[in-house]
Structure 1
Amino acid sequence: MRRVAITGTGTINALGHDVPATLAAFREGRCGISQLNFRDVDRLAIQIGAQIHDWTPEAYFNRQQITLYDKFTQFTLLAAKQAVAEAGLTFEGRIGLTSGVILGTAGGGLNTWDENYRVVYEEGKNRVHPFVVPKLMNNAAASHVSMEFGLRGPAFTVATACASSNHAMGLAFQMIRSGAATVMLTGGSEAMLCFGGVKAWEGLRVMSRDACRPFSGNRNGMVQGEGAGVFVFEDWDHARARGANILAEVVGFAMTADAQDIVMPSAQGAERAIAGAMEDARINPEAVGYINAHGTGTAANDKTECAAVSHAFGHHADKLMISSTKAMHGHVIGGTGAIELLACIMALRDGIVAPTIGYEEPDPECALDVVPNTARDARVDVVLSNAFAFGGLNAVLALRRA
C-alpha cells in the first residue's frame, strides 16, 4: 500500500478567508459566531450563526461564473485554488489523468433552492433560470473543481450529512493508497445559512440561541456555520520526488454505521469507527495525542462521543487532549470535517492544540481533557478527526506528523 501525504490546504469560513487567518483564530480561541444577516432573518427563532459576512463573489468570479456557481461551489473553488497553489501542482499531461476530486456536502446548492422557491411560490413566476439544476446539484462543486484544474480521474460527491467531508477524505485516501489515483483534491463545503436552511434546522430543536459550548455542563445546542475546506492528498513518493512540502501524513480511516436511529447517536458505533481508524493506521491507542472531536454542543452528541472515546482508549483516555473547534467556526455540516482537519494539521506541524472555547462548567459525563478555552502548546505525533452524522454514519481519520 502506498503512503499518502497532504501537500496543500485551503479554506474559507467565518474565522478567515484562508488557512493562515483560520489557524490564527484557532490559536487565539476566537469566536466566529455572530448575528445572522440575510433576507427574512427576523422570521427565524434562531438568529445566530458562523456566517461569512464579508463575502463578495465578484472579487473572485465573473458574472457568468456567478450565474453557474451556488455559494457552496464558490467557497469550494476558492479553497481548492488555495490548496493547489500551496501544493505547487499543475495537472498537465498524465498527472491530470491520474488525479481526481472527492468532496463532501450535505445540502449542496441550498441557496439556489431557497432563491428559486421564492421566485415560484412567493413571486408567482412560472419560469426559473435554465441553469438552476446544474447550479444546485450536490456534485456541482466537484465537477467545477475537476474542470478548473483538468482533473480527469475519479470525481464525485459524498453526501452523508455531518460526516460528508470525512467520508470524502477517507475515500480519497483509500484511492491513493490503493494506487487508483496519484493526487486527489478532497474536503467539503456547505452554505446552508439562508432562510430555508436555518428554518429547517430550527425544526429539530437542537439549536442554541446564544452560543456553542461543547462539553460544557451548561451547553444548550449547536450553531450552524458555513464555508469550505479543501486539501491536496498526494502519493507520498510522488510528493517526495517533486520536492513538495509535506504537511502531514494520512495513515488510517474507518467508517461504521450505527444501524440504530436516524438522529440519536450510538457510542458503540462511534467507538468502532475510532478503533477501526487506529487499526487501519496500525497504531496503538497510546500513540494518539489529540482528537478533534465532533463536539456539536448538544447533550446527545457530547456525552455519546466522550463515552466512545473513553471506551476506545481505556486508561489512555485520561492522557488524551480532545477539543471541538465548532464553538469557533460553527457546525459547517457537510464541510465541517474538512475545516476541522486544519486543527489536526496545526497540532501536528506547529505543536498547538486548538481549544474548546465557551467552556464554562464541567460535565461529569464529559470528564476528559477538552482543552478548555485556551490553546495549548504540546508535541503531538498522531491525531484523530471524528465525524458522526445523522443517520448513524461515522467516519474517523488518523493523521501522523510528517
Structure 2
Amino acid sequence: MELKRVVVTGLGALTPIGNTKDEFWEGLISGKSGAAPITYYDTEKFKTKFACELKNFNATDFLDRKEARKMDRFAQYAMVAADEAIADAKLNLDEVNKLRVGVIWGAGIGGLETFQDEVLNFASGDGTPRFNPFFIPKMIADIAPANISIKHGFMGPNYTTVSACASSANAMFDALNSIRLGHCDVVVTGGSEAAVTIAGMGGFNAMHALSTRNESPETASRPFDGTRDGFVLGEGAGALILEEYEHAKARGANIYAEFVGGGLSSDAYHMTAPHPDGIGVIAVMKNCLDNAGLKPEDVDHINTHGTSTPLGDVAELKAISEIFGSHAKNININSTKSMTGHLLGAAGAIEAISVILAMKHGIVPPTINHTTVDENIDPELNLTLNKAQKRDVKVAMSNTFGFGGHNACVLFKKID
C-alpha cells in the first residue's frame, strides 16, 4: 500500500509568550520569557512562586460564557487554538466531508483544576456530596477533542492521547498515520494543558522537578546552562491542521510544510528520570528518521525536549551526538522551553509549530538565559544560545519526552 503524503495547512497557538501563532512567533524570535509570579492563587507557602501563565487571556472573548463555564481551562485553550488553526487553514466547513475529518488531541493531565476545586469544595463542607454536574465531563482528558468535534461537526476519529509530556507529539503521529493510511482527509491535532494550579505546582515541587529561582523567574528556565535547577511550568495549547497532500492541493491551500515522519520509543528505565545514556532517545530519533526515509545528515534543526533539568538536558544532547555523529555540530539545536516554560501535554504541539515557522521564516529561535557553560555538554554543539540565528531550514525535528519514559519525535520538511 502506498502511503499518502501529509502536509500542514493551518496553525494555532495560545502560549505564555503570545496568544496567536503570529504573536507566539514574534515572542520566540525576540527571545521573550513568559515566566512571571503566579497570579492564580496565593503562593506564599509554595517553594516555587512563578510559572509561565497565559497573559491577557479571557476565555469569554472567544467562547460563549455559558459554554466556557462547562469547560476546564485546558479545554478552553484547546478550543481557542483549534479555531485559530481551522481559520488559518481556510477550511470551507460547508464543503469538507466531515466524516473524513478527525480530531486527535494530546493532554498529559486534563482537567486538573476542575478535579482539585471539586475535591476541595467537598472537603470543606459537611460531607454531603454536592458536586457540579459538569465535574466529570469538565475533568476528563478526552473532552477537548470532543468539544472541537461537536462545535464543527467533525465525525472522523476523535480521541485523546495521554503520554505525559509526549502526549501531543503522540497525537500528531497518530494523526499523521490516520491520513497516510487513507482513513482521513484532514485531522485537527495538537495538545493543551492547564496545570498551573495548587495541585500541579505542589505536586511538581514535591518531586523537586521545578526551578525555585523565585528572585528571577524570567531567567529560571535555562536549558543547557550549568546552573539550571529544574523546569518552569507553562500552560496553553497548540493546534495543527494536517491534510492529505492532494486534498490540500485541490483546494489551493497554503502549505506550511510536509509532515514526513515520526517515531516512538520507551526508556523502560525509571518513572521520572531519563536513561543517563539516552538509549530511548537514541531509539526514538532513529525510528523517526527511518519512518521519514531520511538520513541524519538531512536534518538542519532540532527543537529539543530541553526542559532545563540537570539530568535530562545532558542525556538528550548525548543522544543527539550519538545519532548525528559529526553532523551534530552543523545542526541548529534549541529549546524553546527557555521562553515558554514546559507546557507538559501541549509541549509537542507548540514546539512542532516552532520548527515549522522556523522553516517558513528561515530563522531559528534562541535558547535564552544561557550564562554558564556545562562541562558535561559538548561545546561544539550549536545550541542557538541567547539570540535567534538565520538558517535555511529544509528539515526540522522536534523531540518530546514524558514521565514514564515515553519518547516521541516528529519530523517536518520543506514542501517540494
Question: 1:245 maps to which residue?
Answer: 254
Say whether residues 1:190 and 2:193 are aligned partners: yes
Residue 285 of structure 2 is aligned with which of 274, 284, 289?
274
Structure 1 stretch displaced more, 380-389 or 117-126 = 117-126
Amino acid in the other structure paired with 1:219:
R
Question: 1:18 maps to which residue?
Answer: 20
2: CA distance, partners of 1:251 / 1:53: 34
Deviation at 1:206, TM superposition (A): 1.6
Question: 1:313 maps to which residue?
Answer: 324
SS in 2 for 1:337: helix
Question: 2:267 maps to which residue?
Answer: 258
Deviation at 1:58, TM superposition (A): 2.1
Q: Which aligned pairs between 1:317-332 and structure 2 lie closer than 5 A?
A: 317-332=328-343
Q: Is the 8 A contact 1:4 1:250 kept in 2?
A: yes
Say whether residues 1:229 and 2:238 are aligned partners: yes
SS in 2 for 1:202: helix
Deviation at 1:318, TM superposition (A): 1.3
Question: 1:292 maps to which residue?
Answer: 303
Superposed CA offset, 1:3-43 (max 9, x none): 10100000111111100000001110010111011223222
Q: Is the 8 A contact 1:37 1:53 kept in 2?
A: no
1: CA distance, partners of 2:20 / 2:116: 27
2: CA distance, partners of 1:177 / 1:67: 37
Deviation at 1:348, TM superposition (A): 0.9
Q: Is the 8 A contact 1:306 1:365 kept in 2?
A: no
Question: 1:90 maps to which residue?
Answer: 92
1: CA distance, partners of 2:55 / 2:366: 24
Structure 1 stretch displaced more, 31-40 or 349-358 = 31-40
Structure 1 stretch displaced more, 291-300 or 31-40 = 31-40
Question: 2:142 maps to which residue?
Answer: 139
In percent, how many aligned pairs have the same letter? 35
Superposed CA offset, 1:182-224 (max 9, x none): 1000000000011111111111102112201100111111000
1: CA distance, partners of 2:185 / 2:75: 24
Deviation at 1:94, TM superposition (A): 6.2
Query: CA, structure 1 residues 291+75, in 2 after alignment: closer, same or farther (shift >3 Å)?
Result: same
Say whether residues 1:164 and 2:202 are aligned partners: no
1: CA distance, partners of 2:152 / 2:374: 48
Question: 2:413 maps to which residue?
Answer: 400
2: CA distance, partners of 1:94 / 1:363: 52
Q: Is the 8 A contact 1:96 1:150 kept in 2?
A: yes
Give ranges in structure 2 of 5+ residues lacking alignment. Answer: 214-219
Question: 2:392 maps to which residue?
Answer: 379
Superposed CA offset, 1:140-176 (max 9, x none): 1010011111110100001100100100001100111
Amino acid in the other structure paired with 2:269:
Q
Amino acid in the other structure paired with 1:152:
M
Say whether residues 1:370 and 2:383 are aligned partners: yes
Q: What's the TM-score, normalizing by structure 1? A: 0.98
Question: 1:44 maps to which residue?
Answer: 46
1: CA distance, partners of 2:390 / 2:151: 39
SS in 2 for 1:229: strand
Residue 128 of structure 1 is aligned with which of 123, 128, 131?
131
2: CA distance, partners of 1:53 / 1:123: 33
Amino acid in the other structure paired with 2:151:
E
2: CA distance, partners of 1:94 / 1:374: 42
Superposed CA offset, 1:264-304 (max 9, x none): 11201000100111111111111100000000000111011
SS in 1 for 2:242: strand
SS in 1 for 2:24: helix
Structure 1 stretch displaced more, 220-229 or 94-103 = 94-103
SS in 2 for 1:148: helix
1: CA distance, partners of 2:93 / 2:142: 21
Q: What's the TM-score, normalizing by structure 2? A: 0.95
1: CA distance, partners of 2:164 / 2:231: 15
Amino acid in the other structure paired with 1:186:
T
2: CA distance, partners of 1:354 / 1:187: 20
Structure 1 stretch displaced more, 184-193 or 255-264 = 255-264
1: CA distance, partners of 2:96 / 2:22: 32
- Higher-helix-fraction structure: 1
Say whether residues 1:149 and 2:162 are aligned partners: no
Question: 2:358 maps to which residue?
Answer: 347
